[in-house]
Amino acid sequence: AQSVTQLDSQVPVFEEAPVELRCNYSSSVSVYLFWYVQYPNQGLQLLLKYLSGSTLVESINGFEAEFNKSQTSFHLRKPSVHISDTAEYFCAVRPLGGYNKLIFGAGTRLAVHP
């Protein structure tokens, strides 16, 4: 079985400051890793994903995440946040093979203040 732990339920940060949202997972098999973002009153959208290859993956809006197998982590970072980044962020895993079932973490609410 798999599980995902997002260590911070809320992260307040000032605009243009760096931010890191932490995600750790547990799995007995290899997994794919994902970050989804949910803006207020919307559904979830894929932000970035790690399937294989380079352990550092990037999104189009400046976020990046690094897969660390030894620490079973997939932390999300951005060097300078904007007000528009205010949202809830979900880390998720999916075991290789089998059905397309995602296991989500509890979410981290990022609040960017001016």
Partner 1 sequence: DAGVIQSPRHEVTEMGQEVTLRCKPISGHDYLFWYRQTMMRGLELLIYFNNNVPIDDSGMPEDRFSAKMPNASFSTLKIQPSEPRDSAVYFCASSRQGADEQYFGPGTRLTVT
Distance CA 103, CA 101 (A): 7
Beta bridge partners of 31: 95
Residue number, 15 or 109, with CB nearest to partner 1: 109
Find the shortest distance in angstroms from Cβ 107 to partner 1.
Answer: 6
Distance CA 17, CA 30 (A): 34
| Residue 21, both tokens | 């949202």
Rg of the chain over all Cα atoms, to the nearest angstrom: 14
* DSSP-based three-state secondary structure for 84: helix
Residue number, 85 or 88, with CB nearest to partner 1: 88
56 binds partner 1 (CB under 8 A): no
55 binds partner 1 (CB under 8 A): no
83 binds partner 1 (CB under 8 A): no
**Nearest by Cα to 22 from 61, 57, 71, 70:** 71
- Judged by CB under 8 A, which of 3, 30, 45, 61 binds partner 1? 45
94 binds partner 1 (CB under 8 A): yes
Residues lying near partner 1 in the complex (CB under 8 A) are found at 32, 34, 42-46, 49, 51, 90, 94, 99-102, 104, 106-107
